[in-house]
Structures are given as structure tokens and as C-alpha cells.
Amino acid sequence: MLRESLILSLISDELINSEALYDEQKRMFGNSDGTFRDVEYEEVKNMPIMDSCIREALRLVSIHSFNCRYRALTYSTPPFTLSTGK
């Protein structure tokens, strides 16, 4: 969720050209009536502006910070005990 928010923040701060990103999406997924069709994963690989946007968000936010967990309780399963770390 934080990465998606960061991507939107980058676009709003004009660090990413929103017009170019929108034009790329219209070109790839736009229908003639102005709507958009569903996106396939394989098609996203052919979107260099979207790819750059995602890579920049991943570069700015450490992946490690999302993998940290904090325990509020002490769990015990003999012979192991996971404490809260206090």
C-alpha cells in the first residue's frame, strides 16, 4: 500500500510526467469509446514509463522495512519461545 501511495505522490509532485504516463496507458489499454480494457500482466512489461515509475518507487522505499514484524505477545512452542523483545 505504501508503494502505491509513493507512486501517486511522485506523479503529483511532477517527478514523473503524468501526461506521458496517461498517454502510454491510453495507447496500450484504451478503447475507441474512451474506456479502458482490462490489463494483462504481460502487457505491462511493454510499458517503459510505467516500468520506470514502479522501479523509482521501489528504489526510494526499502523493501526490508515492510518485512519487519513486531510481536505484542510472547509465543511459546516447546522447545522454542518467541518473546516480544522488550
pLDDT at 50: 84
Average pLDDT over residues 10-25: 79
pLDDT at 82: 65
79: cis peptide before it, omega within 30°?
yes
pLDDT at 7: 72
pLDDT at 30: 92
Cβ(11)–Cβ(21) below 8 Å: yes
pLDDT at 21: 86
Average pLDDT over residues 2-9: 71
Tens digit of pLDDT for each residue in 21-75? 889 989 999 999 989 999 888 888 889 988 887 787 777 766 555 555 555 567 6
Cβ(16)–Cβ(56) below 8 Å: yes
The pTM for the full model equals 0.55
